Amino acid sequence: MRVEPLLTGRLGRPYLWRATCASTQALLDDPALPEGAVAVAEAQTQGRGRLGRTWEAPAGAALLCSVLLRPPAGRRLGELSLVGGLATARAVDHVARVRSGIKWPNDVLLDGAKVAGVLAEGRNGAVVLGIGVNVGQAAADLPADARTRPGSLLTATGLEHDRASVLARLLVELEAGYETWLADGLEPLVPELAARDVLLGVEVQLGDAVGRAAGIAPDGRLILLVGSETRLVESGEVSVRAPAAPA
């Protein structure tokens, strides 16, 4: 993918491209690499999702990228997955001329279908943010057994979109969101996360309890109403019972 001429910001240097690799996350597993390093592959043999799950995409159809961030010590690094999800949603919207939703914590949805996923992995204080965007997959190329119905920019819009443009915009949006987060934390980004929240009002499961999602707290946690009780939930703890409303 020819993107280097499009990379004008702080993210994307160095830019590591591979035709195939195990996971773009692993390409950034190098203490010598600076913040802003980006890895992109046409295909992954061991693409990773969250919580040990796998990410599947046929060669050349999806944007598969990882970004290395080195935030200052003492910050809540988990928040960066929300920063990444928001940047991804914005980039998808810009390139495909759509309005995407975010299924907390970090799935990007179009018309209820998951078109992108974000994975934040911590490495000795650094964070490798992995982002997969389904760009050109036809319906038959998407995983049949996915937890959330999958989609791509092609299936959602009926149009081909340029992966390099998605990446270039994603890095611009991620840099902006990261700078905001560095300066002021997650709070300034929460209104937009809330506006894109497709879980609002949806029944979700937390352990044995079932509750109704009631928005995103200023610190990025999901607000859950369980009976008359309000709980704040960290990512990774909830699963959706009813299908999310269309984005």
- State the residues that interact with ligand BT5 by CB under 6 A: 23-25, 44, 47-51, 53, 55-57, 64-66, 107, 114, 117-119, 130-132, 134, 142-143, 146-147, 150
Where are the strands (E) in the chain, listed by range?
Answer: 15-21, 38-44, 62-69, 101-103, 107-110, 113-123, 126-134, 203-206, 209-216, 222-226, 229-233, 238-240
Q: Which is nearer to ligand BT5, 65 or 200 (CB)?
A: 65
Nearest distance, CB of residue 143 and ligand BT5, angstroms: 5
Q: Which is nearer to ligand BT5, 42 or 56 (CB)?
A: 56
Tokens of 77: 């690094």
- Tell me how far the alpha carbon of residue 180 is from its chain's centroid: 17
- The whole-angstrom separation of Cα 106 and Cα 126 is 19
Contact 118, 76 (CB under 8 A): no
Nearest distance, CB of residue 149 and ligand BT5, angstroms: 8
Q: Which is nearer to ligand BT5, 150 or 177 (CB)?
A: 150
Contact 1, 41 (CB under 8 A): no
Looking at beta carbons, which residue is closest to ligand BT5? 117
Q: Which is nearer to ligand BT5, 153 or 200 (CB)?
A: 153
Q: Which is nearer to ligand BT5, 101 or 150 (CB)?
A: 150
Nearest distance, CB of residue 229 and ligand BT5, angstroms: 27
- The whole-angstrom separation of Cα 83 and Cα 78 is 9
Q: Which is nearer to ligand BT5, 93 or 225 (CB)?
A: 93
Tokens of 103: 């299924």
- The whole-angstrom separation of Cα 106 and Cα 46 is 20
Nearest distance, CB of residue 142 and ligand BT5, angstroms: 6
Helix and strand numbers (H, E) in the chain are: 5, 12
Tokens of 69: 């961030």
Q: Which is nearer to ligand BT5, 17 or 185 (CB)?
A: 17
Closest CA to 177 of 43, 50, 29, 10: 10
